[in-house]
Amino acid sequence: MKLQRIQSLALLVALGGIFPSALHAAESTVNKLVIHADQGKETIDRNIYGHFSEHLGRCIYEGFWVGANSEIKNVRGIRQDVVAALKKTKIPVLRWPGGCFADEYHWKDGIGKPSKRPTMINTHWGGVTENNHFGTHEFLDLCEQLECEPYICGNVGSGTVQELSQWVEYVTFDGVSPMADLRRQNGRKEPWRVKYWGVGNENWGCGGHMTPEFYADQYKRFATYVRSYGSNRVYKIACGANTGDTNWTEVLMRDAGKRMNGLALHYYCGSGKTRKPATEINEEDWFSQLKKALHIEELVAAHGAIMDKYDPKKNIAMIVDEWGAWHSVEPGTNPGFLYQQNTIRDALVAGVSLNIFNQHADRVKMANIAQTINVLQAMILTDKAKMILTPTYHVFEMYSVHHDAKLLPAEVQSSDYLMGAEKIPNVNMSASRDAEGRIHVSLCNLNPNQPAEVACELQGAKANSIKGRVLTAPELASHNTFEQPDSVKPAEFKACQTTASGFTATLPAKSVVVLEISP
């Protein structure tokens, strides 16, 4: 679905309004939606709401993992509060162990008695020494506690075909073999079911600085030995492009497309106009960040068009397994740990990105925000025993109503949010119908200054009742802290009502709203 926008000037003339400056939108904005409630065909895969956790900074250690002897409440070393919080978002899939870390990780170092596991240097992220206490068994235990699917990314950059092949065998084989027997010796009798396997990560960069032609051959070689054992059917994900490198997609689809189930795409929308800490923000930074976030629509469309050429039936999924905002680290923290705060601006980045993935549900079947805890655009921040939920977390929890629902086609006529000579739409949205017939509409008002009036025509259904939730905040840099953990959190949304043809709503400035309509 492509967003269609009408010009702000035309709207202002129709309304008799005049915008006060080149930097701000009009005092009143009017936006029209048409939702085709009787035309849903594509299912929004719940895995679009997936997460990514790398051995980076305090994501694993101090984030998920505190160890069984910690005074922080845990189950076999995994934090109970973190698990409980993520389960509330209905977390569907978790990618691990990287990232760049994946292509220097050798899985056999992370099995067996923890005290006997060798240490390693995390050369990509801070040069710290890791004790490997969190490895394959701990990760799969975490996924079982979260009740989510594991997604393991294998080492192609510095590993071997045999190493990756044996990892799959160790995890999933139920028969008698050296790797299955080793798993049993390490305390796990039954195999795990692990469907998703990544064959390398960012092999155009930190995963080996390969050409697409070289990686395509390497992918085919490694993927040949990523085998399905017993009833476990593997789903092979190839390393895809960095941002706009459509040539990488062309070569991979042409040379290796027949041997993959999914092709990854990575896109970080940076920070504001210049990279600085998340909370150091002015309106120009706000606008720049959201414009960059909206750019993922063009990337998904461009790479999707190439995939369509080689795979017109859309059998190969686009897997956006790293995406999100990337600000400067918080002052005073290790620059290699990528620890950043999370503001209402990041909530809008999450909202518009997820709406775009929803709209491309015919091709996008998984996405994994980077990263779950204490790193980049995190869901959760921890400080020893303390834990807070970020604005981005709340968006994921609010949007969980879209999981496995039918995407409803929609058109948007949005007024513009102006910044000098540049503009972006005020309103971004997606809509779905769940198994019970309820319609959910997720709406983002990107304008930080003005509310957005929305009028929706609901075709093929009648809105009998409507209710909603809203996430907004008073300041551009509003965020949660350990001292004030609930500064930004969802609230009941009442500025909506049904009409004879659909509904109307008034979206607060800088807000994410999710409506539930009962036909």
Catalytic residues: 202, 322
Pair of tokens at residue 188:
């796990």
**Bridge partners for 270 per DSSP:** none
Omega of the bond prior to 20 within 30 degrees of 0, cis?
Answer: no
- Helix, strand, coil percentages (3-state) for the chain, rounded to 5, are 30, 30, 45
The residues facing 265 across adjacent strands are: 241
Structure tokens at 264: 């990854």
Rounded to a whole number of angstroms, the distance between the first and last alpha carbons of the chain is 23
Which amino acid makes up residue 337?
F
Closest CA to 198 of 258, 238, 143, 234: 238
| Helix residue ranges, H only, 209-362 | 212-224, 246-256, 283-294, 296-310, 344-359
**Inter-residue contact 366 to 374 (CB < 8 Å):** no
1 vs 238: CA distance, rounded Å: 26
Q: Do the beta carbons of residue 337 and residue 59 sit within 8 Å?
A: no
Q: 57: which 2 tokens?
A: 């900074």
Q: Is the dihedral of CA 404, 292, 266, 136 positive or negative?
A: negative
Residues 6+ away with beta carbon under 8 Å from 69? none
**Do the Cβ atoms of 72 and 376 come closer than 8 Å?**
no
Residue 296 Cα to chain centre, angstroms: 12
Q: What is the residue-wise DSSP string for 90-109?
A: T--EEEES-SGGGGG--GGG
Specify the amino acid at residue 205.
G
Which of 460, 461, 463, 459 has its CA nearest to residue 505?
Answer: 463
C-alpha 45/C-alpha 33 separation (Å) is: 23
Cα separation values, 388 from 245, 374, 417, 487, Å: 37, 10, 32, 11
**Helix (H) / strand (E) containing 120:** strand 120-122
C-beta neighbour count of 409 within 10 angstroms? 17
Instruction: Return all residues near 397 (Cβ < 8 A) that are at least 6 apart.
Output: 88, 89, 490
Q: Tell which residue, 302, 276, 308, 304, has the closest CA to residue 289.
A: 276
Q: Which of 462-481 are b and which e, b meaning 16 or more Cβ less than 10 Å from the residue's Cβ?
A: ebeebebbbbbbeebbbbbe
